[in-house]
Structure 1
Amino acid sequence: MVTKFGAIRWCHNEGPRTLVLIIILLVNVIIFAVTLSHYEQSDAVYYHRLMLGHSLAFARASAACLNFNCALVALPVCRNLLHFLRYLCVNKRLCKRSVRRLIDDNISLHRALAWLICFHAALHAASHYLNIERFVHAFDLPAGGNSSGSLLRTLSLLPGHRGINPVQRAGADPLVEAAVLLPGWTGLLLLCLLVAIVASAATAVKRARFETFWYTHKLFFLFFLLLLVHGMAGVVRPQSNLAAHKPAACASKFQLWGSGSLPECPVPTFSFAGSTTWMWLVAPAAIYAIEKLLRVSRRCRRVEVVRAVQHPSRVMELRLRCPGFAASPGEYVFLLVPEASQLQWHPFTLTSAPDDPYISVHIRTVGDWTKQVEQLYSQCYGKGDLTTSERDLLPRIYLDGPYGTASDGVTQYSVSVLIGCGIGVTPFASVLRDVWHQAGKTRSLRKLKRLYFYWICPDCRAFEWFAALLQDLERDLQRMDGDDYAQLLDIRVHLTGSVETRQAREIASREGDEADCLTGLRTRTHYGRPNWDLELRDLAAKHPDTSIGIFFCGPGQLAKDLNGRCNEFSNSTSSVFYFNKENF
């Protein structure tokens, strides 16, 4: 049972994101309800309601929500905007920790808006298909008499840009009419683009075919262009002479419209007031234009490859030099190698610290793009630092960034826990190197007093490329004066994969060695996955009444599990666990 105290703890960890999502949903509900009520009651669309029923109101209400969600969907992925907001939170301390963590969860907000767009797009399309069917039906009704069918037929034949019925052929096929109309074929293209963009963003597709995800997401330019064009035809044209023609009073007297015997009921006229979609999109478009200009300006910077290092487990390290480049620990950059792809920018976390004389990234060669990049720079393996003439002969490389991540907040907690799975350790390489530099130089790590580092790997060979850094870090911290620095870092390595017979014998034979035979660390390697219940309970016992930052980079399922356990132990112990996940 969650107590009042536990509920408050839950709100600290999950409250900001939940609150923002609730606000977005409430705004959608309000926009939908207000628009629906307007089209159900307004005299300007009185005759449209007679012809189309409730489907008109549902189509217009979903369209209004689409405008709102489409205006916001690109903002959570404007990297420069997020970087600026994160800078205000982390460096200038102008916002609380909960707001900074909300910025780190930008992808969740982006996905939520995308799903709302999908929902309203489906509702909008279904409602308008019903509208087309009813337009076709209204045009085919017989004329003459005082029936409601005769009224709809009369409305369909009104002069002046075809009155309120865009269908002007008897026996028309609704599908053909929908395809002929501008809103129809643009709407069909919009649906196809939306399906392609959303489907390619699935985790399985993104992981196996990143190029597919990247290229389909670039179709959003076409999506927004079609969105602007979609509503320009003015199929729904409100009545423009309400002062002279009261539809509620004149509808039953449609046979006398425009006659001298009934001057108070002239022929109703309808006009299109213009699309309002551009009003919703102009501000986000301006922000995104500034975003693109900043990215293009960075492409003009000269970036040099100064060294390429081959590591085990298909990992390549590129060391770069870029004048004027400055980054904080844990940040990431986007790389473009035109000889591998003219358009694709790929994100990589920085593994170098701010004090290092170079910028380094570790690239695991698992996809087509990374394999091409490795082939282009493999000629530099074993050469050490390249000369100027050698660097000039290499393929050009461009860099966009740096951009902040959740790791920016590691030193804002007195106790921080870094959890990296496999190659997911790369965001923490820069953090650990910076801790190493800062503890040795300035002896100032802000609030940080204790840092736990969990590295979970399925293959012991993957330890090799990162072990040297951990060995240096562990050794140098042990040499420092004072127990605080000697006890600053606690490294816990877990091997989750199988161990070969030869390796098992070597491990057994070197049981008494001071250094672990797999990693070379004083800390022993653990075999199997960590028991997170025991680990978090132990952390809470060692650090009571403390805010503990959990920083994770790895599989989504483990992230969900850890997030839930952080909430659970925040409720059941005196410590508060703040879960932070790396998102790119």
Structure 2
Amino acid sequence: MEHAWGSYFTGSKLWFYFVFWGIHIAIFAGGWYVQASDSRLDALNTLEYSVWFSRGAGLVLTIDGTLILLPMCRNIIKCIRPRIRWLPLDETAWFHRQVAYALLVFTVIHTASHYVKPVTAVEIHFTEAGGITGHVMLFCMMLIYTTAHNRIRQQSFETFWYIHHLFVPFMLALYTHATGCFVRDTADPISPLDGDKFWRHCLGYEGWRWELVGGGLYLLERLYREVRARRQTVITKVIRHPYDAMEIQFQKDSLKYKAGQWLFIQVPEVSSSQWHPFTITSCPFDPYISVHVRQVGDFTRALGDALGCGPAQARDLEGLDPLGMYEVALQNGQKMPSLRVDGPYGAPAEDVFENEIAVLIGTGIGVTPWASILKNIWHLRSGPNPPRRLRRVEFIWVCKDTSSFEWFQALLSSLESQSAAAAASEGRAEFLRIHTYLTQRLDDDTAANIYLNSVGQDLDPLTELRSRTNFGRPDFKRLFTAMCEGLQDQTYMAGLYGSLNRTEIGVYFCGPNSAARQIREAAVTTSTKDIKFKFWKEHF
């Protein structure tokens, strides 16, 4: 899905761009100065702007070559995330892209500087190590960047996944780019095998020494993931839900996780190299681990076929349930494929309990992260040590059709009843408020039937919950404004507004970027001096 230009120029991102590009320009200027002011390189400096631009950009590329893989070291980030909360460690993929953009800009500068004199450039670039490895990197970058476009990732994730692994020859070429010693104080070329002579006369940045740090950490990360993923995992149950959604339940004793985290899944029978991210929908109190998958792409459709709940198998078993919901492993006798699981990894949803008020928003199957969170809340509030800081949860679920409400209606009903019972016994407002929105356009007969069945009934006819279904899309600015006004006049929740510390409301969303922009804008515009809405979007 395309991003609106406004989303690239929020206040925090503008500040990041200023610092990020300011540092890059400073490094570029430093590389230029070092080259131009070194008397040992007077012969090379006769090329003037060509070599100065090239060397300045080269120093930047050395730094970016070190940084580009670090955001992908997810296990390291998972370990430091709870300890360094002021860093936006949930935006690692976004930071990876910013480094990639800078890498592209300074690659163009670096390459163009070398090609100022085409004849000399051809003689140098196809006979020396720097030229050969440079062209290898350019070829890899051309393929990696073109297939990393958002539309290609959505329409053919496999293409993106396989081509992106050209980063391996790219990094190898980067590490060996300076072995030809292009920057030297002698006229004759020097071999890296010349020992002390090479180190005395080769005056390049030798950036491979710190580039290898980033590459080495990432290599250890990938090896650890591979070892961990091969630990025994057994699929115990597969349930097909309406609209080509399926629930995979499995057991893996070595996997310990928190509510709201996510993991990678690989099924060798479908693909021996592809790993796909999914949110964990079970909670730590469940005797199993589960994920919900919607069959919308090549991988997920093939996964559905392998698990016995693809579209073709579903047609053969339509009679099992009028809603198209059935348990594959038991009722169909389907032999389950082997499963590899890598994770868990941290996500913003982990921090729900650190807010005084949490607003959980999901659209369609984007509700899956909140299944784990809500189940965990239910267990914790039933236990001896219920969460103290979190005082209310507003759960907003937007669906386009009525059948989607079946996915975890039973859980919502239990949570709603528990919240109402606790509120009645304690004499306070309910802990959980559920808001369901149906965006599907209903025909007149269906609308009339819903109206007739709702009159005088305690439960909503669509969701069987005490809270009523809303029709249309939610107006988040109006909802957040009402919360602010309710806090200020003490009608929403007594005791929060007016304290020494300002009230923090965490807004957590899982769904499409178009909706995320609207919710983020509503959170920013509604925040006041004393009431702060903090928006987080789930990323994989």
TM-score range, shorter chain: 0.7 to 0.9
Q: How does 1:6-155 map to 2 (within 5 A)?
A: 22-50=18-46, 52-86=47-81, 89=82, 94-96=83-85, 98-99=86-87, 102-130=88-116, 132-133=117-118, 136=119
Kindly indicate whether residue 409 of structure 2 is the aligned counterpart of residue 467 of structure 1: yes
What is the percent sequence identity of the aligned residues?
32
Q: Gapped runs of 5+ residues in structure 2?
A: 1-9, 189-199, 314-324, 488-496
Identify if the C-alpha distance between structure 1 residues 489 and 208 changes in structure 2 by more than 3 Å, giving closer, same or farther: same
Whole-angstrom distance in 2 between the partners of 1:415 and 1:60? 52
1:18 CA displacement: 6.1
1:48 CA displacement: 2.2
Aligned counterpart, 2:273:
343
1:69 CA displacement: 1.0
Whole-angstrom distance in 1 between the partners of 2:209 and 2:134? 19
Kindly indicate whether residue 523 of structure 2 is the aligned counterpart of residue 523 of structure 1: no
Alpha-carbon displacement from aligned partner over 1:399-427 (angstroms, at most 9, x marks no partner): 11111100010000010111112221111
Aligned counterpart, 2:453:
510
Aligned counterpart, 2:235:
305
Q: How does 1:147-166 map to 2 (within 5 A)?
A: none
Q: Which moved more, 1:374-383 or 1:215-224?
A: 374-383
SS at match of 2:274: coil
Whole-angstrom distance in 2 between the partners of 1:443 and 1:521? 27
Kindly indicate whether residue 477 of structure 2 is the aligned counterpart of residue 547 of structure 1: no
Aligned counterpart, 1:247:
none
- For normalisation by structure 2, the TM-score amounts to 0.84
Alpha-carbon displacement from aligned partner over 1:98-123 (angstroms, at most 9, x marks no partner): 33xx1112222111111111111111
Identify if the C-alpha distance between structure 1 residues 121 and 446 changes in structure 2 by more than 3 Å, giving closer, same or farther: farther
8 A contact 1:478–1:485 mirrored in 2: no
8 A contact 2:175–2:212 mirrored in 1: no
Q: How does 1:358-437 map to 2 (within 5 A)?
A: 358-378=288-308, 382-383=326-327, 393-437=335-379
Kindly indicate whether residue 223 of structure 2 is the aligned counterpart of residue 293 of structure 1: yes
Alpha-carbon displacement from aligned partner over 1:112-143 (angstroms, at most 9, x marks no partner): 1111111111111111111x43xx4xxxxxxx
Alpha-carbon displacement from aligned partner over 1:261-285 (angstroms, at most 9, x marks no partner): xxxxxxxxx9534661311212212
Q: Which moved more, 1:424-433 or 1:505-514?
A: 505-514
8 A contact 1:540–1:573 mirrored in 2: no
Q: Gapped runs of 5+ residues in structure 1?
A: 1-12, 137-166, 168-173, 242-269
8 A contact 2:329–2:336 mirrored in 1: no
Kindly indicate whether residue 429 of structure 2 is the aligned counterpart of residue 482 of structure 1: no
Kindly indicate whether residue 434 of structure 2 is the aligned counterpart of residue 498 of structure 1: no
Letter in 1 for 2:93: I
Question: Which structure's CA Rg is the greater one?
Answer: 1
1:287 CA displacement: 1.6
Whole-angstrom distance in 1 between the partners of 2:15 and 2:444? 53
Kindly indicate whether residue 286 of structure 2 is the aligned counterpart of residue 356 of structure 1: yes
Letter in 2 for 1:582: E
Whole-angstrom distance in 1 between the partners of 2:483 and 2:148? 36
Letter in 2 for 1:27: I
Aligned counterpart, 1:231:
178
Alpha-carbon displacement from aligned partner over 1:420-443 (angstroms, at most 9, x marks no partner): 122211111100110111111235
Aligned counterpart, 2:145:
198
Whole-angstrom distance in 2 between the partners of 1:36 and 1:275? 12
Identify if the C-alpha distance between structure 1 residues 401 and 484 changes in structure 2 by more than 3 Å, giving closer, same or farther: farther
1:196 CA displacement: 2.2
8 A contact 1:536–1:569 mirrored in 2: yes
Alpha-carbon displacement from aligned partner over 1:476-514 (angstroms, at most 9, x marks no partner): 332336347870111111122322444323212223132
Alpha-carbon displacement from aligned partner over 1:422-476 (angstroms, at most 9, x marks no partner): 2211111100110111111235114100000111222333222232321222123
1:293 CA displacement: 2.5
Out of 512, 518, 527, the position equivalent to 1:561 is: 518
Aligned counterpart, 2:167:
220
Letter in 1 for 2:449: E
Q: How does 1:258-273 map to 2 (within 5 A)?
A: 271-273=201-203
8 A contact 1:238–1:271 mirrored in 2: yes
Identify if the C-alpha distance between structure 1 residues 531 and 573 changes in structure 2 by more than 3 Å, giving closer, same or farther: farther
SS at match of 1:456: strand
Whole-angstrom distance in 2 between the partners of 1:486 and 1:569? 23
Whole-angstrom distance in 2 between the partners of 1:517 and 1:200? 47
Q: Which moved more, 1:551-560 or 1:17-26?
A: 17-26
Identify if the C-alpha distance between structure 1 residues 485 and 119 changes in structure 2 by more than 3 Å, giving closer, same or farther: farther
Whole-angstrom distance in 2 between the partners of 1:213 and 1:442? 48
Whole-angstrom distance in 2 between the partners of 1:301 and 1:440? 33
8 A contact 1:477–1:485 mirrored in 2: no
Out of 390, 396, 406, the position equivalent to 1:454 is: 396
Identify if the C-alpha distance between structure 1 residues 537 and 301 changes in structure 2 by more than 3 Å, giving closer, same or farther: same
Whole-angstrom distance in 1 between the partners of 2:205 and 2:38? 18
Aligned counterpart, 1:441:
383
1:553 CA displacement: 1.2
1:291 CA displacement: 1.1
- For normalisation by structure 1, the TM-score amounts to 0.78
Identify if the C-alpha distance between structure 1 residues 378 and 56 changes in structure 2 by more than 3 Å, giving closer, same or farther: same
1:542 CA displacement: 2.5
Whole-angstrom distance in 1 between the partners of 2:225 and 2:128? 39
Letter in 2 for 1:426: T
SS at match of 2:235: strand
Q: How large is the RMSD of aligned CA atoms in angstroms?
A: 2.6
8 A contact 1:232–1:275 mirrored in 2: no
Alpha-carbon displacement from aligned partner over 1:541-580 (angstroms, at most 9, x marks no partner): 223441111111112233233223322222x453011111
SS at match of 2:176: helix
Letter in 2 for 1:45: L
SS at match of 1:230: coil
1:208 CA displacement: 1.4
**Aligned residues, how many?**
490
Q: Which moved more, 1:377-386 or 1:294-303?
A: 377-386
Whole-angstrom distance in 1 between the partners of 2:407 and 2:239? 10
Aligned counterpart, 1:583:
539
